[in-house]
Amino acid sequence: MSADYAAIAPPSARRVRWSLDHADFLGSLLVAPAVLFILCLVAVPFFLAIYYSLSAYNMGTLSFSFVGLDNFIAVTKSEIFRRSLMNTLLFTVASNLIALVLGKIAALLLLREFRGRTVVRCLLILPWAVPVALAAITWRWMLDSMYSVINWVLVHSHLVPAYVWPNWLGEEGLAMISIIVIQAWRLFPFSAIIFLAGLTSVPKTIVDAAYVDGAGYWRRTFQIVLPVILPIMMVAMLFGLVFTFTDMSVVYLVTKGGPTNSTQVLGSLAFQVGILSGDVGRGAAISLYFFPFLLVATYFLLRYLRRREI
Amino acid sequence: MLRNFWKESGFVAALVGLLVFAAFPFYWMVITAFKRDSDLYNLDYNPFVFNEPPTLEHVNLLFNQTAFVRWVENSLIIGIAVVAITLVTAIPAGYSLARMGGRKAEGLGIGIFLTYLVPPTLLFLPLARVISLAGLQDSLWSLVLVYPTFTIPFCTWLMMGFFKSVPRAIEEAAIVDGCSLLGAFVKVILPVSLPGILTVVIFTFTLTMQEFIYALTFISTESQVPVTLGVATDLVRGDIFYWGSLMAAALIASVPFAILYNLFLDRFIMGITGGAMK
């Protein structure tokens, strides 16, 4: 491209020049730092986690010894683990479903032009924008056993009698409902904006053409709009599922897994066993139960990422 | 007419319901942060309004008797350092994946993006070991080391989308004019990609501020924690919650996020959908 310059430059400079002009080489060079970082701090730790899960590694003794699948067997047999697994599934599916429905409603509402729409959108985004730790601590105060504002409303609208109001975070079923609602609250703005972006990106000409051809509302929705926005919706939904399934923030901050493990999820259990109790081997074994789930999610993600047209 | 009326009412009801659900916790932060304790902890009062004059005592307590200011500084240090690391790795990577290497690059790009899915709850045990080997336990620098594991994949993907939306003709013109490939990237492409780079800065920063699990795992010294962890764990003394100052802290720390997200939302949507969705 700049042959004149290359001809008069000294040989070493020419070599540098050549390599920087060679797309393949330069391409690898530019991507290398990112790949190296990920290899060192994601891939290596991942294999380290597998190694830990196969050994009796304890913070207290600091001794490694290979124990095969003992950790996995012990973990799988434990009552708390099975309960956590079921809790995690319930927590994930329920909160994502609610978020999806609310997100869809919010998107449909925001699709209309009305006065104050920008302000409404700003307010609806808040739950997703704010750091989970700050939001969770606020919910904890709203669900306080004594001064819960929600209970105040319930009492004063005579739905529950005074002083026997529900103890949201202190009773098993209620605690689970609470963390599901909080997680749905965090997630629904994300699903709303993805829905909204999807809906507004469907070319109006296609929808109009279908309308002229006599397609009714449902037909337009399911056969025209949905197929176009499906890939990106699926990507967003899979992300929501993965983040909820592997998360422990809301649980740790609001209930700490209690009362009596009724809201314990896999993430918080791994934290408790691996970090707080120092049984790294078992903790790693619990964490690795995420892996098959991640694989399945990855498979579907790849399918939809490649099919993504909008 | 009647049908329209019901439709309108339904619309307004749904809107109001959703707004209350989404925004009420923030109203609750505000009103709690400025209420006197005697007002907060009185079951006979209506909790939605100030029954006694508002007060700044919780805010004062927060700034003068807790390490809140220090935590905010910690968060800023972590955020700035991670932004720097992310910029120097994710921008070149995004460019390389968008422009050089064809299908192979497409696969690698998706591969990098997918590492964003590997959760902290899977990596925190081995990373805790790595941190202690590096001598960084209980130091905020441990988070500077670890946070790029999720900011780099996310931002590489964002930048890849942005670079794909830059017309190739711009570089080709530069190369014809005698620029090297690298020169074209640095002198021509980077300047026109400033909006994308700014988005990466903002979102890296907010991602680091929002993280909770790694911070909880690696740091237990009060002087080293970022603001979110400090508020959620260190402001609680034993089992006693000082709700007034807790909510004041949550409120102050939330405001920047509310503003940034709303300002940059459209860019974010463009980024996450691969830049193809306009």
Q: What is the pLDDT at residue B150?
A: 93
Please compute the mean of the pLDDT values over residues B120-126 and round it to a whole number. Answer: 91
The C-alpha of B219 sits at a distance from chain A's nearest C-alpha, in angstroms, of 12
Q: Which of B154, B144, B146, B148 is nearest to B94 (CA)?
A: B154
Per-residue pLDDT at A15: 58
Residues β-bridged to residue A30: none
The more confidently predicted of residues A62 and A244 is A244
pLDDT beyond 90 at B222: no
Tell me the pLDDT of chain B averaged across its residues: 86
Token pair recorded at residue B14: 């749904």
When CB atoms are compared, the residue of B18, B213, B258 closest to A248 is B213
Q: Does A18 touch chain B (CB under 8 A)?
A: no
What is residue A230's predicted lDDT score, i.e. its pLDDT? Answer: 82
pLDDT at A96 over 50: yes
Give the amino acid at A130: V
Q: Give residue A310's pLDDT.
A: 42
Least reliable range by pLDDT among A147-151, B111-115, B265-269: B265-269
C-alpha A189/C-alpha A236 separation (Å) is: 12
Q: What is the pLDDT of residue A217?
A: 79
Chain A contact for B180 (CB, 8 A cutoff): yes
CB B208 within 8 Å of CB B84? no
The reported pLDDT for the residue numbered B272 is 62
- Confidence check: pLDDT of A179 > 90: yes
User: In chain A, pLDDT over 70 holds for what percent of residues?
Assistant: 90
Measured in Å, how far apart are chain B's first and last C-alpha atoms? 37
pLDDT at A288 over 80: yes
Report the chain A residue with the minimal C-alpha distance to residue B233.
A253
Residues A56-81: tens digit of each pLDDT: 877 666 667 788 888 898 888 899 99
Within the 89-118 window of chain A, which residues sit less than 8 Å (CB to CB) from chain B? 102, 105-106, 109, 112
Read off the pLDDT of each residue in B232-239 and give the average, rounded to a whole number.
Answer: 80
Phi and psi dihedrals of A39, rounded to 5?
-60, -45
**Which of B121, B241, B272 to probe the A interface (max A CBs under 10 A)?**
B121
Q: Which one of B212, B240, B245 makes the best mutation probe of the A interface by having the most chain A beta carbons within 10 Å?
A: B212
Task: Find the closest chain B residue to A103 by CA distance.
Answer: B18
C-alpha A198 chain-centroid distance: 20
Asked whether the beta carbons of A255 and A263 are under 8 A apart, the reply is yes
Task: Tell if the CB–CB gap between B100 and A252 is shorter than 8 Å.
Answer: no
CA distance A214 to chain B (A): 24
Residue A118's pLDDT band (cuts 50, 70, 90): confident
Closest C-alpha among A247, A41, A259 to residue B212: A247
Q: What is the mean pLDDT of residues B33-51?
A: 85
Kindly give the interhelix angle for A226-246 and A290-307, rounded to the nearest 10 degrees: 160
Measured between alpha carbons, how far is A283 from A272 in angstroms, rounded to an integer?
A: 8
What pLDDT band is residue A225 in, cutting at 50, 70 and 90?
A: confident
pLDDT of residue B92: 92
Where do runs of H (alpha helix) occur along chain A? 3-8, 11-21, 23-38, 44-53, 70-77, 79-111, 117-129, 132-142, 149-156, 172-201, 204-212, 217-219, 226-246, 249-254, 266-270, 280-288, 290-307
Q: What is the pLDDT of residue A18?
A: 59
pLDDT tier, B199 (very low <50, low <70, confident <90, very high otherwise): confident
Mean pLDDT of B192-209: 87
pLDDT band at A2 (very low <50, low <70, confident <90, very high): very low
Q: Does A288 touch chain B (CB under 8 A)?
A: yes
Q: Which of A105, A142, A287 sits opposite B28 (nearest CB)?
A: A142
> With contact defined as beta carbons under 8 Å apart, do B69 and B227 qualify?
no
Mutate to test the interface with B, among A2, A14, A28, A41 (most CBs of B within 10 A): A41
pLDDT of residue A17: 59
Q: What is the pLDDT of residues A20-49, one digit of tens each?
A: 667 778 888 888 899 999 999 999 999 999
- Which ipTM value was assigned to this complex? 0.89
* B95 has a chain A CB within 8 A of its CB: yes
pLDDT over threshold 80, residue A10: no
Residue B10 has pLDDT above 60, yes or no: yes
pLDDT of residue A194: 85
Phi, psi for residue A59 in degrees, rounded to 5:
-55, -35
| Partner-chain residue, chosen from B121, B129, B175, that has the shortest CB–CB distance to A1 | B175
Question: What residues 213-232 of chain B have any CB closer than 8 A to a CB of chain A?
Answer: 213, 216-217, 228-229, 231-232
Instruction: List pLDDT tens digits, range B143-176.
Output: 999 999 999 998 998 888 888 888 888 888 888 8
Lowest mean pLDDT among A107-111, A251-255, B260-264: B260-264
pLDDT on residue B271:
65
User: Out of B19, B24, B129, whose CB is closest to A48?
Assistant: B129
Q: How confident is the model at residue A231 (pLDDT cuts 50, 70, 90)?
A: confident
Helix (H) or strand (E) holding B238: none
Tell me, yes or no, if B41 comes closer than 8 A to chain A by beta carbon: yes
Q: What pLDDT does A13 receive?
A: 61
DSSP state of B116: G
Check A129 against B153: CB less than 8 A apart.
no
In B, minimum Cα distance to A266 occurs at B121
Is the model's pLDDT at B71 over the cut of 90? yes
**pLDDT for residue A3:** 45
The whole-number average pLDDT for the span A290-301 is 89
Asked whether residue A158 carries a pLDDT value surpassing 90, the answer given is no
Q: Looking at chain B, which residue has its C-alpha nearest residue A163?
A: B43
**What is the pLDDT, as a whole number, of residue A4?**
46
Structure confidence at residue B86 as a pLDDT band (50, 70, 90): very high
Q: What pLDDT score was predicted for residue A6?
A: 46
CB-closest option in B18, B110, B265 to A193:
B265
